[in-house]
Every structure is written in structure tokens, then in C-alpha cells.
């Protein structure tokens, strides 16, 4: 078959696989315990016979291209069984069937079918990661006296499976590599460049080496690397600021006068990546104050987060975001949102974010200087720092799924642990102190080291530890140093 026609078939097949959910992007735990940004589930093929037939035909073509010589085929159970069956029937090649468990009665066979010792059997597999499952099947077939020199896989995850099988004398032919699949899906507009980068980063960090167990943890990425794989432009901006300014400190200025807030912010601006405010406790709020916040953010390079904790139905949340005295959407880059009401609250805020673009350009021309200044996004509250909060682990998991489904507005999480391995989001922790453990009102504190090094979160949110300190600038510097040092040490682990 001409190369171009084959490529067009594969592009179409890649799209088919995506549309039947045989390929998914997000955050998944593999059998090995590794967290992966991509998941292949070719088991669903049995419900899509046309796609199954195409996959099987491509496996046949790949075996022929690789000049594999064989008398029979055997699929690695279970997913490759229907693939091997289809190929066997379509091309009239005898099939053998490996049992997952040897029968404990009757013939005790581990391979079913007419075995001819000394004949050649081709192993068929859907996805290869380390090559372990293919090799297990090879060994069973060899025990039966069959000769196995070749295997064909539909998708090679490029995590060293091919090289490891080579070491065992097995040539692995593949229909597609992950790199090819990503490029086909990107060129057809199914996934974006950030997803491609994230999967490639994962593949690179999770190679299997002969005789060595696979890494159980994904590599810790730097802030710069996180910026490259972030889903939301504000997540990218925040990681870039953290990298450039060497700070993961978010100051929570819970003061009540505009003047005090702006003065403190001007003093500690160089040491923070973001400021968090509770605008509803500010006694003399004005639009001028909001504009000044934005201007300080541009001068010192930090983002503005309004800790509104939206928690109502979409329609009400929209009004709260755009209207009233505060008109939050016009000045806050980010807002906090409870996942409690369900995804409607996130979608409703996302739908009005463009108001920011129109108004900011009229009222604050200088804001146009920064591309990110008119971006809007939210942080989902997945966990709380207060003692006895009611956010169960199921609630937290559901919040992560909600974020996955709304990546165009969710920038990350407020949480006290890294609630997901998804590197495309940011994880920020409130309740941070250098020495205190509680405040007498059920707030619970962690140290910067506990937050970043032990719990794996990206940023520390500090309130009273800074604005109530005798010397707020010195306090901010101490938190900045402690937080950043914990991050540097985490990278060394």
C-alpha cells in the first residue's frame, strides 16, 4: 500500500479511536501504579466492530511489512483476543488461544488450539508499555514447543518495550507509536499542543530499563516545565512568574482598608507571585482600588485572586461575578469556586469572562500591556484547611474530574494535598505558617516544607503570618525563601 494512503488510513483510525474513547487524555493510574496523562483502552473495540476490523487489518499489514513469518497467531489475553480472532478469520491463519490461568481440571492446557511443535507463532497485542505481557505469552507458547520470534502491537507506548523484547530475541512490529498517534490527533485538531507536550514529557520520564523496575513516581517537573504543559493561559503565566521571580508565595491580604492593602502590596510585591483578597471585607472598596491592584500586579509581576468562593447556581454566580458593587470579573484574574453546586457554577463564570476584555480595555488602558491581564480563570476548592471540614475524599475526586472537564476555565485547585498528578493544573495550599499549628478558630497550619516537599503542592498561601507580622516585608521574604527552598529540595529528591 502506498505510504500516503496508509498514513491517511491511520489518521482516520486515530480519530475513530479517540471518538470511541479507546484513547483518553487526562490523569490515570496505570496497573503499575504510575500516573499517566494518557490512557488507552482498546477493550472498547468489541463494541465497535468496524473499528475493530480496521485495527486488526492494520496489525496484519504491519506483520507483513515487517516480513514476519508465522504459521499461527496468538493474542495476548484479553484485549488482543478479538483482534487475533478477526485477523485469523479474515486471512485464514490458524489461531491459538492462551489461557490466563491453566485449567485445574481436564487437560490442564495453558494454550488451546491445535499446537504443532516447531511451527512459528506470531504474538498479537493491543498496547505495549514495558513488553512484560507480550513476553509472558511468548514464554507460555515456547513451553508448548512453538517458535516465537515476532510480535505485532497496535500501539507502542515507546516506553522501552521494543528494546526490552529485542533483548529477549523478539522483534516487535508496531502499527503506531504514541508519537505518531499524537501527531495525527494534533493535526486533525482533536488535541492541542500542550496535551502533546504533556504526554511526551510523561513518555520520556517513564522509560523501562532492562532488569530495573519501572519508576513508581512521575518525575517532578520544574515550574518552567509546568508552564509548558499548563492547560490554562493563567496557569502558564503563574508558573512563569514563579520561575522568573523564584517565588511560590501567594499573600492573602485580609485587611479591611484599601490604603493598607495597597501599601503592603507595594512593599512585598517583589516577593510574591499572586495576591489574594477578600473584597467583601474591604470597608472603602472602589473601582479605583481594584484598578490599583491590577496596576501593582503589572508593575511587580503578580496575579490578582479574589477569594469569593462562589457556591451558588450558575445564574446567581454570574450576577455575583459581574454585578453588585464589586464587579469582580473586571479586575480579578482568578476567583475561587466551590465545586459543591456542580459544573454549572464553573461554566456560568466562564461564559461571562469576556466582559473583562471589553471593560478593562476601556477603563484601564495600561492593562493592555500584559496579555494575561484580561484572562480569567478559577481555582476549584478541592480541600479545606479548617478542622472538621466536610469535603470528603469522594468530593475531592469529583472536583478533580470537574476540573478535567472544564480546563478552559479551571486553572487549578485550593487543596491541602496535591489532589491529582495532573501537571496541567496548579495546586495551592492555604493555612501556612512557619511555626503556628492553629489559630484557636479551627484553622490548621502546615509549614512551607510540609506543603511543598511532603504534600507536593505548588504554592503557599499566607495571610496573618505576613500581614500581622511586626515586619511584614521580612516575614514575606522568610516565607518566600522557605517555600522556594522546599521546591528546590523537592526537585533534588
Report the distance separating Cα 359 and Cα 290, nearest Å: 13
Query: Which of 446, 449, 381 lies closest to 410 in space, CA to CA?
Result: 381
Q: Which is nearer to ligand S5P, 308 or 350 (CB)?
A: 308
| DSSP string of 42-111, one letter each residue | GGGGGG-HHHHHHHHHHHHHHHHHTT---SEEEEPTTTHHHHHHHHHHHHT--EEEE-SS--SSTT--SE
Strands of the sheet with 150-156, listed across from one edge: 111-112, 95-98, 72-75, 121-128, 150-156, 171-177
Q: Which residue's entry shows cell 504526554? A: 199
Please identify the residue of the shown chain whose CB is closest to the bound ligand S5P: 463
The one catalytic residue in 109, 166, 219, 309 is 309
Query: Which of 64, 109, 67, 66 lies closest to 87 in space, CA to CA?
Result: 64
| Closest approach of ligand S5P to the CB of residue 438, in Å | 10
**Whether 312 is catalytic:** yes
| Closest approach of ligand S5P to the CB of residue 430, in Å | 3
Q: Which is nearer to ligand S5P, 133 or 385 (CB)?
A: 385
| Closest approach of ligand S5P to the CB of residue 57, in Å | 54
The one catalytic residue in 41, 71, 312, 439 is 312
Q: Which is nearer to ligand S5P, 83 or 461 (CB)?
A: 461
Q: Beta strands 303-310 and 95-98: pairing type?
A: unpaired
Query: Which of 137, 158, 160, 108 lies closest to 150 in space, CA to CA?
Result: 137
CA torsion 313-314-318-321 (nearest 10°) is: 60
| Closest approach of ligand S5P to the CB of residue 473, in Å | 17
Q: Which is nearer to ligand S5P, 386 or 404 (CB)?
A: 386
Report the distance separating Cα 347 and Cα 292, nearest Å: 28
Total Cβ atoms within 10 A of residue 354: 12
| DSSP string of 136-156, one letter each residue | HHHHHHHHTT-B--EEEEEEE
Residue 144 CA from chain centroid, whole number: 44
Residues in contact with ligand S5P by the rule CB under 6 A: 252, 254, 278, 307, 336, 384-386, 414, 430-431, 443, 461-465
Q: Looking at residue 441, what DSSP letter applies? A: S
Buried/exposed code over 373-385 (b: 16+ C-beta within 10 A; e: otherwise): bbbbbbbbbbbbb
| Closest approach of ligand S5P to the CB of residue 277, in Å | 9
| Closest approach of ligand S5P to the CB of residue 467, in Å | 8
**Whether 109 is catalytic:** no
**Residue 412: exposed, middle, or buried by beta-carbon count in 10 A (0-12, 13-18, 19+)?**
buried
Q: Which is nearer to ligand S5P, 209 or 256 (CB)?
A: 256
Q: Which is nearer to ligand S5P, 224 or 442 (CB)?
A: 442
| Closest approach of ligand S5P to the CB of residue 254, in Å | 5
Q: Which is nearer to ligand S5P, 125 or 307 (CB)?
A: 307
Residues carrying an active site annotation: 309, 312
Amino acid at each position: 500500500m502506498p505510504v500516503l494512503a496508509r498514513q491517511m488510513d491511520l489518521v482516520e483510525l486515530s480519530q475513530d479511536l479517540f471518538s470511541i474513547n479507546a484513547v483518553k487524555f487526562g490523569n490515570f493510574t496505570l496497573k503499575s501504579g504510575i500516573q499517566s496523562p494518557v490512557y488507552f483502552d482498546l477493550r472498547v473495540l468489541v463494541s465497535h466492530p468496524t473499528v475493530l476490523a480496521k485495527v486488526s487489518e492494520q496489525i496484519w499489514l504491519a506483520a507483513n511489512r515487517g516480513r514476519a513469518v508465522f504459521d499461527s497467531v496468538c493474542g495476548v489475553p484479553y484485549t488482543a483476543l478479538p483482534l487475533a480472532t478477526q485477523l485469523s478469520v479474515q486471512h485464514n491463519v490458524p489461531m491459538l488461544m492462551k489461557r490466563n490461568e491453566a485449567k485445574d481440571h481436564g487437560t490442564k492446557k495453558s494454550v488451546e488450539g491445535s499446537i504443532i511443535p516447531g511451527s512459528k507463532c506470531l504474538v498479537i497485542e493491543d498496547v505495549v508499555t514495558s513488553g512484560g505481557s507480550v513476553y509472558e505469552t511468548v514464554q507460555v507458547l515456547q513451553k508448548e514447543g512453538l517458535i516465537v520470534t515476532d510480535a505485532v502491537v497496535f500501539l507502542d507506548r515507546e516506553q522501552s518495550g521494543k528494546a526490552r523484547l529485542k533483548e529477549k530475541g523478539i522483534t516487535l512490529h508496531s502499527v503506531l507509536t504514541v508519537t505518531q498517534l499524537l501527531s495525527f490527533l494534533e493535526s486533525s485538531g482533536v488535541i492541542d499542543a500542550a496535551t502533546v507536550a504533556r504526554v511526551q514529557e510523561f513518555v520520556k520520564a517513564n522509560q523501562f530499563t532492562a532488569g530495573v523496575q519501572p519508576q513508581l513516581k512521575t518525575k517532578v517537573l520544574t515550574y518552567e516545565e509546568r508552564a509548558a504543559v499548563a492547560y490554562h493561559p493563567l496557569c502558564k503565566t503563574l508558573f512563569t512568574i514563579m520561575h522568573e521571580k523564584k517565588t511560590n508565595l501567594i499573600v492573602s491580604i485580609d485587611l479591611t482598608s484599601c490604603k493598607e492593602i495597597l501599601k503592603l502590596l507595594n512593599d512585598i510585591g517583589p516577593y510574591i507571585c499572586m495576591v489574594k483578597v477578600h473584597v467583601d471585607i474591604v470597608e472603602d472598596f472602589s473601582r479605583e482600588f481594584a484598578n490599583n491592584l491590577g496596576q501593582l500586579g503589572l508593575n511587580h509581576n503578580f496575579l490578582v485572586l479574589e477569594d469569593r468562593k462562589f457556591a451558588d447556581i450558575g445564574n446567581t454566580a454570574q450576577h455575583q461575578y459581574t454585578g453588585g458593587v464589586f464587579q469582580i470579573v473586571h479586575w480579578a484574574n482568578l476567583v475561587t469556586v466551590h465545586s459543591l453546586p456542580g459544573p454549572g457554577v464553573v461554566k456560568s463564570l466562564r461564559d461571562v469572562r469576556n466582559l473583562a476584555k471589553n471593560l478593562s480595555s476601556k477603563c484601564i488602558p495600561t492593562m493592555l500591556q500584559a496579555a494575561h491581564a484580561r484572562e480569567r480563570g478559577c481555582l476549584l476548592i478541592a480541600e479545606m484547611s479548617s478542622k472538621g471540614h466536610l469535603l470528603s475524599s469522594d468530593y475531592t475526586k469529583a472536583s478533580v474530574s470537574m476540573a478535567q472537564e472544564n480546563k478552559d476555565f479551571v486553572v487549578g485547585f485550593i487543596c491541602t494535598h496535591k489532589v491529582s498528578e495532573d501537571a496541567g493544573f496548579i495546586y495551592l495550599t492555604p493555612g501556612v505558617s512557619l511555626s503556628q499549628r492553629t489559630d484557636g478558630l479551627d484553622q490548621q497550619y502546615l509549614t512551607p516544607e510540609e506543603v511543598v516537599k511532603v504534600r507536593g503542592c505548588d504554592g503557599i498561601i499566607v495571610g496573618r503570618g505576613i500581614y500581622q507580622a511586626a515586619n511584614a516585608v521580612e516575614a514575606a521574604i522568610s516565607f518566600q525563601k522557605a517555600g522556594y527552598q522546599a521546591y528546590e529540595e523537592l526537585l533534588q529528591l
